[in-house]
Homo-oligomer: A and B are copies of this chain.
Amino acid sequence: MQTLIMAGGLGTRFWPKSRQKHPKQLLRMFGEESLIQSTVSRLQPLIPESKVFVVSTASQLPAIKKQLPGIPGSNFIVEPKGKNTAPCIGLSALFIEQIEPDGVMVVLPADHIIRDKNLFHQTLKAGAEIAQESENIVTIGIEPTYPATGYGYIQCNHALDDVQGVQSYKVKTFAEKPNLATAKRFLDSGDFLWNSGIFIWKTKTILRQIEEHLPHLHQGLQEIREALGAPEEADVIKRVYCQIRSISIDYGVMEEARDITVLRGMFGWDDLGSWDAVYKLHKKDSDNNVLIGSHVLTDSTGCLIDAPDRCIAVVGIDDLVVVDTGDAILVCPRDRAQDVKDVVEIAKRKKLNEYL
């Protein structure tokens, strides 16, 4: 099983900790490991580091390589620029195809939290078995625990046979992030799972799907394939990438493809979408606050204060997020944590480049 870790995101919702040169996946949110380090280490021993590929943009890769010294240098794939997940997966599949043309390939986001490693491995193995024995796309859906509006959903059709003890279903549709009313309906129906962004397929299966549903991308990939290993490889990738349309794998392939199998992921998952998610995953004190550092809160509950080097005093505000990085400080209600990305947009417009 070759594994591709997609590490091209910026995670601007995690400003001020996430910066252009130090994106979300490189942050230590919990414990000693960064999110991408955890993503790699939780694959062990199922998938050795020699079979782990990491794709990201040129500007991000140096910092990523530094955090993952166990991954061979040739396993890092450079995107000339971010073009969303379909081109990213297509390009990476070309590299993996060269190593193992008939093999199974797992695609993982770099920045998710997974609690039960053994159950996760079991689910990956089940997915690999299905992918190996069919031309199916396999994805993992997460049993929803609340009507989330921040996730895409997968609607299940009829149940298929369990594989290695993992429940599987034929996919009926993919649904984009819903509004709250729709999310509640999804939850009530019992048919819907959260879209984890984890895929398992044979490398040639996904390349064939791209050929069928994204002919423009396919054509670009053909050009790149011919140049692989040649001196002009990087130039060709750059040229093709500049012309390619930015499109997600969900929109470009998943919503079009037949024969998609979804496995029910029961391993405890969080995509850690915002500071609010970080608050929820931390242990709280008796006032329901999460305090990193020595702080003074009065008449304030439900707060996340992450400022190890400074005393933050909060007076009379509930459910507040304060995150300090020395040069910058975020102050935001937890229920507005999704809007932290706007700060980065405004800072960009104001040319406050040192904070990007």
Contact = CB atoms under 8 A, between A and B. Distances in A.
Interface of A: 15-16, 294, 296, 298-299, 307, 310-317, 320, 322, 324, 326-333, 336, 339-340, 342-343, 346-347, 350, 352, 355
A327 B311 contact: yes
Q: Which of A298, A313, A326, A355 has the most CB of B within 10 A?
A: A313
Given A296-B347, A347-B296, A328 B342 contact: no
B342 A311 contact: no
Contact of A332 (B294, B316, B342): B316
Given A311-B327, A311-B352, A316-B333, 12 more contacts: A16-B311, A296-B343, A299-B336, A311-B328, A313-B331, A313-B332, A313-B343, A313-B347, A315-B340, A316-B339, A322-B331, A329-B329
Chain A interface main SS type: mixed
Nearest to A307: B329
Q: Which of A299, A311, A316, A340 has the most CB of B within 10 A?
A: A311
Contacts of A324: 329
B311 A320 contact: no
Given A296-B350, A346-B298, A315 B330 contact: yes
Smallest CB-CB A-B distances: 7 pairs: A315-B332, A316-B336, A311-B328, A313-B343, A298-B342, A314-B331, A296-B346
Nearest to A322: B331
A343 B315 contact: yes
A16 B313 contact: yes
Contacts of A350: 294, 296
A85 B332 CA distance: 42
Contacts of A314: 331-332
Contacts of A332: 313-317
Contacts of A313: 15-16, 328-332, 340, 343, 347
A314 B335 CA distance: 13
Contacts of A331: 312-315, 317, 320, 322, 331
Contact of A329 (B311, B316, B317, B327): B311
A300 B101 CA distance: 55
A342 B312 CA distance: 14
Contacts of A316: 332-333, 336, 339
Contacts of A339: 298-299, 315-316
A294 B330 contact: no
B315 A352 contact: no
Contact of A317 (B299, B310, B333): B333
Contacts of A322: 329, 331
A202 to B, nearest CB: 44
9 contacts: A16-B313, A296-B350, A298-B342, A310-B326, A313-B328, A313-B340, A317-B331, A317-B332, A322-B331
A320 B355 CA distance: 22
